[in-house]
Amino acid sequence: MTPSEFRYKREQLDLSVSQIAQILNVDQRTVRRWEQPEQTKTGRPPNPTACRLVDLMLCGAIDAEMLFKIAFKTKQRRGSSDAS
């Protein structure tokens, strides 16, 4: 999947960079790098596992909203355990 295809599919899922980063458990900067044209210095191809997950969300095999809620709850739990 090319960077532009990844971005197009993310937009088709109506997910922000922040949301897809949270679902995939990566930094927002990583997603931005994946979406940059390959000829730029910092651009790199999207992670193959991330591409597959986006494809599964697009075809309806996995519910993107459910994944976002799970990722958000996991992040909250990690944050509360860090404070302990």
What's the confidence (pLDDT) of residue 27?
Answer: 93
> Does the pTM exceed 0.75?
no
Domain range summary for the chain, segments of one domain joined by +: 3-78
The pLDDT tens digits along the chain (84 residues) read 888 899 999 999 999 999 999 888 899 999 998 998 765 566 677 888 889 889 988 898 888 788 877 776 766 666 655 544
What is each CA distance from 51 to 3, 7, 10, 56, 79, in whole angstroms?
Answer: 10, 10, 10, 9, 27
Radius of gyration of the chain (CA): 14
